[in-house]
Structure 1
Amino acid sequence: MASAALWLYSLLVWLAQPLVRRKLRRRARAEKGYGTAVGERFGYYAPPLDSLMMHSSTSGQGSFLWIHAVSLGETRAAGILLAELRAQWPDMRLLLTHGTATGRAEGEKLLLPGDVQVWQPWDTRGAVERFLRQFHPAAGILMETEVWPNLVAACQARGVPLVLANARLSEKSLAAALRIASLSRPAYGRLNAVWAQTDADAERLRQLGAPVQGVLGNLKFDAEPDAAQLAQGREWHAASARPVLLLASSREGEEAMWLQNFIKNRTPALAGQALTAINTEAIAAPGSVQWLIVPRHPQRFDEVFALLSSAGLRVARRSQWGQPPQDADVWLGDTLGEMALYYGLADVALLGGSFAPLGGQNLIEAAACGCPVVMGPHTFNFAEVAEQACAAGAAQRVAGMAEGMLAAGQWASDRARLALGRTQAQAFSTAHRGAAARTAAALKALLATRPSRAG
């Protein structure tokens, strides 16, 4: 019998459906992807998909291995794991679900003939039941953080093994989950296995009753940067007249922080020239740097362009140039899927999400590209990785944006220290690889005794 907490939760998410639809319509005005196949979010599937499922129904229960990757970062991590899973089960069919438009767009790149991609069902009992009846997954892999009470309960009731892979849980998220422990503990406890990124994540997950079966590392360390992009970025860097500093994956409010300090540190001697937030005492001749800003979310590209332009800066958008113009005050990285290019172009990166209290973005891709990182005080989403990077010499922590801009300029101006930082960043990335193979092996062992397996 369902607990009172789960019953109340189920009622609330059922009542929230009109609000969810309204939110999706609003989001779709900025990102068209949110207007795609909205019925899938509530467990209703279009006729072409129904026909595909009827055609494949002879394979019965277990035809799909289901991976849920809510957004862009989780989808990229899923892609790393998927390569290992396809090696284990060459004939497997993938069922890939997402919650965000960027995740779904990225996930399309992972599909092969016979695979299916749909939205994650909204966590009502009806939507979840329709989803499971439609696809009959052999097993489900939730990436990183996505544990939904009704989804987990329904999988347990149907005998669908469900695991949490590349799992992470911050102190903030743990505190929030403990406030609703009567709901969160059963949800985590019903999972078949949890494989954590770090020992600290594992300990926090155990506090919620999760069946942690191993600490396997972070899948994102196994990602290989796009070699062509990285080479192109380094070629452009070599041609730049000035050191290049990158504000990477910036979040709401951080560009304004950056702009305030950028303008405050202008000197009269630089009037009419390229602006810099680093004065001549902080960085060697020619006494200026080139800034590159890459917002985390594509729907904010225009907003950030307007912010910078309204301050009188000459802003060059990546989407509008073939190679970096040398007469711009700021380069704006307004493209998706080119972070390797941006990291290759930069000397040092400021870590977005860490200067506002947002928990920080992941610095692993920067390290893999050999780009040292300066981070602010807010890295609770990736606390252990951040500390490890600092200890390895791949990153430096500062108190705020002003200190970060100064530190990045100082690091870029010290060629010996910069060369060492690049080497240490690359070594840090290499030392932590192998999570994908370990996770695939753990999943294979989990499913080995079950009659229905992926593929």
Structure 2
Amino acid sequence: MIWPLLYAALWKLAPPLIGHYLRRRARKQPEYLQHWDERWARGEPRADDAHGAIWVHAVSVGETRAAAPLVAALRARWPDKPLLITQMTPTGRETALSLYPDACVRYLPYDAPDAVARFLGRYQPMFGVLMETELWPHLIAGCRAHGVPLFLANARLSERSARGYRRAAGLIGPALASLDGVAAQSEDDAARLRALGARQVAVCGNLKFDITPPPQAAALAAQLRQWRGERPLWMAASTREGEEALLLDALPADSPAVLLLTPRHPQRFAEVAELLRARGIPFQRRSNNTALRADTRVWLGDSMGEMFAYYQAVDLAFIGGSLLPLGGQNLIEPAAVGCPVLIGPSTFNFAEVTRLALAEGAARQVADADELHRTVATLLADPDARQRMGAAGLAFAQRHRGATARTLAHLLGCVGEAVD
């Protein structure tokens, strides 16, 4: 019983610490100062509050995009129900507003019991879907108390995360056991979740395989190809802090190729621009909407929502978050449009997807920045190899589609009687 008591005590002390955290984050991203009332489910009711809604929680950008095919399936199943989408980050909120313009978009309140009760009392969702690994014990307990069925979708749990959860098994175990169902990405994810206490676990695959490029991506990709001209162009996608310096310091001075560098977090665009200036590397910003200059060596991808267009415009893509021990990022999107994929040594967040992509010839793995640049040079000089990797990527992405239908079927089996 000690873990639940400690957790509840923590939330009594948390508000001033969270206020300090949000103000600190706002130094780089002022949007963190907005909508504070939602973070504690306070404030007056609003005209667009969604009552009795289909509720989907996706913490940030990646999870919000991954939810898109499932959201479409849920809305097709219950076309007359409103949609409530919650996030924890400003970029996630912006993505949700773009993808779901008719939805009620809010921040999920922090996991203080009174905030959870206010949130559930205000919106009274028909049921809730938590994306990936969003396990908030008070929220889960509050849903159980309010009679709101709660389902974990696209669930993944690395061995590294599982070790941490096992140390707090007295808190996490009851939370997982209180979920009405879990759709896991892989057998390994399912086994780890069951071992921690989850019930009604089914392996449904990864929803990200079911995402399709937005219609405007092809036109933007054509424009980017026109702006690049005849020069080779490769991409370092979703890079994290520390990785850009490794990539830039190893950048070959005599390479004719241009690097399209896209940091994972938009609040770091200016920081990465300073890294380029400090190294004297000629660069230009994607946001300037101009063709590449003859002397440009790095194109800074300082935009949001254009990753599919980038992947269709470049010759190959390296997936960030994998050079340092950060677990990697999503490699499904480039594979799905036939873009050859390179990945670094750290892939624990996408272990199963990476294993399959490597086995099926859709990706290659490198050990460090120097090997990455050598592999890029080799592939840029070998269009046949790139074509084979691209074709393997298309086949890989197509082969693993279908998670949406499996997830919906499992959700209906777990909570259908309670919501129909």
Give yes or no for TM over 0.5.
yes
**CA distance in structure 2 between the partners assigned to 1:428 and 1:235 by the alignment:** 27
Shift of 1:289: 1.4
**Contact 1:240/1:326, CA 8 A, preserved across alignment:** no
1:209-230 deviation digits (Å, cap 9, x = unpaired)? 1114311111111111134323
What is aligned with 1:439? Answer: 407
**CA distance in structure 1 between the partners assigned to 2:347 and 2:231 by the alignment:** 29
Q: Counterpart of 1:30 in 2: which secondary structure?
A: coil
Within a 5 Å distance, the mapping from 1:175-190 to structure 2 comes to 175-190=163-178
Greater Cα shift, 225-234 or 132-141:
225-234
Shift of 1:112: 5.3
What is aligned with 2:258? Answer: 290
**Contact 1:290/1:330, CA 8 A, preserved across alignment:** yes
Q: Which structure carries more relative contact order (alpha carbon 8 Å, separation 6+)?
A: 1
Report the CA distance shift for 1:253/1:212 in structure 2 as closer, same or farther (over 3 A): farther
Shift of 1:321: 2.4
What is aligned with 2:136? Answer: 148
- Scaled by the length of structure 2, what TM-score is found? 0.95
Shift of 1:256: 0.4
What is aligned with 2:293? Answer: 325
Which letter maps to 2:16? Answer: P
What is aligned with 1:377? Answer: 345
Q: Counterpart of 1:342 in 2: which secondary structure?
A: helix
2:128 is the alignment partner of 1:125:
no
Structure label with greater radius of gyration: 1
1:155-198 deviation digits (Å, cap 9, x = unpaired)? 11222111100000011110110111111111111111000011
Q: Counterpart of 2:126 in 1: which secondary structure?
A: strand
**Contact 2:286/2:301, CA 8 A, preserved across alignment:** yes
What is aligned with 2:33? Answer: 35
Shift of 1:292: 1.1
Report the CA distance shift for 1:363/1:82 in structure 2 as closer, same or farther (over 3 A): same
Q: 1:250 aligns with which of 234, 239, 243?
A: 239
**CA distance in structure 1 between the partners assigned to 2:298 and 2:127 by the alignment:** 47
**CA distance in structure 2 between the partners assigned to 1:174 and 1:87 by the alignment:** 35
**Contact 2:53/2:125, CA 8 A, preserved across alignment:** yes
Greater Cα shift, 151-160 or 168-177:
151-160
Q: Counterpart of 1:448 in 2: which secondary structure?
A: helix
**CA distance in structure 2 between the partners assigned to 1:441 and 1:323 by the alignment:** 48
Report the CA distance shift for 1:45/1:324 in structure 2 as closer, same or farther (over 3 A): farther
Within a 5 Å distance, the mapping from 1:21-420 to structure 2 comes to 21-47=19-45, 49=46, 51-52=47-48, 63-111=52-100, 113=102, 115-234=103-222, 236-237=224-225, 240-262=229-251, 265-266=252-253, 270=254, 276=255, 288-420=256-388
**Contact 2:180/2:200, CA 8 A, preserved across alignment:** no
Q: Which runs of 5+ in 2 are unaligned?
A: none
Q: Counterpart of 2:86 in 1: which secondary structure?
A: strand
**Contact 1:98/1:119, CA 8 A, preserved across alignment:** yes
Shift of 1:52: 4.9
Shift of 1:236: 4.1
1:62-84 deviation digits (Å, cap 9, x = unpaired)? x1111110000110112221111
**Contact 1:231/1:344, CA 8 A, preserved across alignment:** no
Report the CA distance shift for 1:79/1:33 in structure 2 as closer, same or farther (over 3 A): farther
1:271-298 deviation digits (Å, cap 9, x = unpaired)? xxxxx2xxxxxxxxxxx21111010000
**Contact 1:230/1:343, CA 8 A, preserved across alignment:** no
1:28-58 deviation digits (Å, cap 9, x = unpaired)? 23223212210111121344x1x555xx87x
**CA distance in structure 2 between the partners assigned to 1:112 and 1:150 by the alignment:** 29
**CA distance in structure 2 between the partners assigned to 1:320 and 1:110 by the alignment:** 24
Runs of 4+ in 1 over 4 A off after TM superposition: none
Give % identity.
Answer: 45
Shift of 1:108: 1.0
Tell me the matched-pair count.
Answer: 419
**CA distance in structure 1 between the partners assigned to 2:218 and 2:294 by the alignment:** 20
Shift of 1:235: 5.9
**CA distance in structure 2 between the partners assigned to 1:322 and 1:107 by the alignment:** 28
Q: Counterpart of 1:291 in 2: which secondary structure?
A: strand
**CA distance in structure 2 between the partners assigned to 1:211 and 1:414 by the alignment:** 49
**CA distance in structure 1 between the partners assigned to 2:120 and 2:294 by the alignment:** 55
**CA distance in structure 2 between the partners assigned to 1:355 and 1:52 by the alignment:** 44
**CA distance in structure 1 between the partners assigned to 2:224 and 2:95 by the alignment:** 26
1:126-147 deviation digits (Å, cap 9, x = unpaired)? 1111111111111110000101
